[in-house]
Structure 1
């Protein structure tokens, strides 16, 4: 296969170097002579053909393609580019990635589709012409962050160096802790945070969807730190966490956090907040009141993508309360 595929455009030197030297972690592919001598050269060629723009994009492509090609060798017995097609991507996700998070699976599908369209375009031409056998499962637009993602986000928002540390902290603690939208996060002030007798915090959301929202326990300390940062500002300074009146300011602040190449998505933070309440068992009437608004479509997409860890018998038991 070597030499059969060429990139659509020359690779940047740093991208080419990363592809040349990359080695998979044990969670991606076993460190065996066969993997090193047979599979990795194929993976590098496939990713090179996809012409990644940056080293981090190349790293993502290498990671997912390597895992799929190991699976393809074991399951299909082939390392041909034709194994990367919609049907096999579907099978790979179901068979080899069932323990991965929903967000991981969605990223894998997106990445493998990108590579497949370059190295095996006929498979996608068949899909476009209406061959339903080659359909690829799609994921909701706003995928909840995983627990590990939230840990990384918390670390990122606590990093020093920001001219407005309160804004950096609140730009993610508001949406992840209380499910606030961008404009609600931007307009919030220190006076909107109330502490209950049990030590839990509640956010008073103002506006046409005014409501009280408890802060998720894991984000309580971050909210406290944001409040402390505002109170440590010079006298006569603003009591707002985020300085600026543009409703989109919070979203911009979140996207600028030093986390990966995408920044933080406020639509995903709200989805994460909703998912946390669904998993915790918050009733739908209560959740709708806390959320301000909750569409049936949003609820359906979240429930479809979540592992709510309910057996059929447990669902029946819960339903007995009606």
Structure 2
């Protein structure tokens, strides 16, 4: 029996297109959109990516289901830049391990991207988030309907106790004394006293003193940039030994190491050199400070002294609520 001919109303071209479609192809893309993805990068573009890395970018964008060639190309270029950065950091090109909110945040806050206009960074974040949500299964991206655009001053989630412990383990394994000292200072003063990175950079042994009572332990005096005023904050007692060792190891000069007066975050470059397990999120001083805030609220520290210790006039309590412990407050609310 002869091979059955295709129906008169079915185009042979359509049959071929369906057969050659990518296994991750999930939508009614036009031939032009697929050609844009398959032809990336264009001849005039030089990318520090090998063939398998470029294929990772193409497959991820196919999964994102762009509707137009222009959208597809924007997603391709955004992901290509992110992929090149991930390879520089020795991160595995597995979507659930690299296309996570923490990694995207780290990418957009380091290197030349820090100098981009806020709107440009927001656009990049949107593009990377779209690809990530199409290709990841376990990465903690919020649902589309619940997504809130990340503002520069958004309350970043605190670290878990297990993550803090692992950061301390990683601090002792840093390859150089400079990195070990810097990471220790970050953990002690951002998580232990709620200091900002810009306050930690100028701390010296002279800024650390013992409290008047055994109850207080070590106190750290932090001064806002460009002002003579400051505040004195108790350091968590669990870090007593680390504080004493920092003062012994660095009796003069900045405890965290040399720094430049010009940049807003001169220690960001050092932070980018830290060697951390890929299972841990990036180490962010803002998240360490937020961890300190949430822990003190959970301990029942009154709001006024906490604001004074943090050096702020208000807190975004509504954004912090998901990270605070839930307790049965019925008795307290009843006045008991």
The TM-score range, normalised by the shorter chain, is: 0.5 to 0.7
Provide the secondary structure at the position in 2 that maps to 1:156.
Answer: helix
Partners of 1:48 and 1:155 in 2: CA distance = 40
Instruction: Indicate how the Cα distance of structure 1 residues 134 and 251 shifts in structure 2: closer, same or farther if over 3 A, else same.
Output: closer
1:187 and 1:240 in contact (8 A); partners too: yes
Provide the secondary structure at the position in 2 that maps to 1:135.
Answer: helix
TM-score (normalizing by structure 1): 0.57
Matches within 5 A, 1:1-322: 3-5=23-25, 9=40, 12=50, 49=63, 53=83, 54=86, 56=91, 58-61=93-96, 113-116=130-133, 135-138=145-148, 140-164=154-178, 165-196=180-211, 197-198=213-214, 200-207=217-224, 208=227, 210-231=230-251, 238=253, 240-246=255-261, 248-259=265-276, 263-296=282-315, 298-303=316-321, 305-310=322-327, 314-321=328-335
* Structure 2 stretches lacking a partner, 5+ long: 1-20, 26-33, 42-48, 65-75, 101-125, 137-142
Instruction: Indicate how the Cα distance of structure 1 residues 61 and 217 shifts in structure 2: closer, same or farther if over 3 A, else same.
Output: same
1:162 and 1:168 in contact (8 A); partners too: no
Instruction: Indicate how the Cα distance of structure 1 residues 251 and 179 shifts in structure 2: closer, same or farther if over 3 A, else same.
Output: farther
TM-score (normalizing by structure 2): 0.55
Q: CA deviation at 1:287?
A: 0.6
Partners of 1:275 and 1:110 in 2: CA distance = 31
Instruction: Indicate how the Cα distance of structure 1 residues 265 and 160 shifts in structure 2: closer, same or farther if over 3 A, else same.
Output: closer
1:177 and 1:219 in contact (8 A); partners too: yes
Instruction: Indicate how the Cα distance of structure 1 residues 288 and 47 shifts in structure 2: closer, same or farther if over 3 A, else same.
Output: same
Provide the secondary structure at the position in 2 that maps to 1:194.
Answer: strand
Aligned length: 231
2:99 and 2:132 in contact (8 A); partners too: no
Partners of 1:291 and 1:166 in 2: CA distance = 23
Instruction: Indicate how the Cα distance of structure 1 residues 220 and 300 shifts in structure 2: closer, same or farther if over 3 A, else same.
Output: farther
For the aligned residues, what is the CA RMSD?
A: 4.1
Partners of 2:258 and 2:219 in 1: CA distance = 22
Q: Greater helix share, 1 or 2?
A: 1
2:60 and 2:134 in contact (8 A); partners too: no
* Structure 1 stretches lacking a partner, 5+ long: 20-44, 66-108, 120-132, 232-236
1:242 and 1:249 in contact (8 A); partners too: no
